[in-house]
């Protein structure tokens, strides 16, 4: 399912226009991204938790030359599915 299909599904389920569903989805995604930028967690009970994890710096290898390269530390977004979502999938 891509973004436009998700917007159509939201509009049909909530009985709202597609434009409103699109704005609501964009607002949700922007709000989650802003919270993660601040270092906060976003917990949707039953659905899951969005958080930021720290990835340590490490040494990797250039696959073409085999030379070692330094990979910088980074913050990465993470999602852990909640129990209700896991149960719905299984």
60-74 burial, b if ≥16 CB within 10 A, otherwise e? eeeeeeeeeeeeeee
Note the pLDDT of residue 78.
Answer: 96
pLDDT per residue as tens digits for the range 31-88: 999 999 999 999 999 999 999 999 999 999 999 999 999 999 999 999 999 999 999 9
Domain boundaries in the chain? Answer: 1-39, 41-90
Predicted TM-score of the model (pTM): 0.79
Q: What pLDDT, on the 0 to 100 scale, is given for residue 7? A: 96
Domain 41-90 has CATH 3.40.50.2300: no
Q: Contact at 8 Å (CB) between 61 and 70?
A: no
């Amino acid at each position: 399912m891509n973004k436009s299909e998700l917007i159509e599904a939201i509009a049909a389920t909530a009985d709202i226009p597609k434009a409103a569903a699109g704005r609501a989805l964009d607002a949700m995604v922007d709000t989650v991204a802003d919270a993660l930028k601040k270092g906060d967690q976003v917990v949707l009970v039953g659905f899951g938790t969005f958080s930021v994890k720290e990835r340590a710096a490490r040494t990797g290898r250039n696959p073409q030359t085999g030379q070692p390269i330094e990979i910088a530390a980074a913050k990465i977004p993470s999602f852990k599915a909640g129990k209700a979502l896991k149960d719905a999938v299984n």
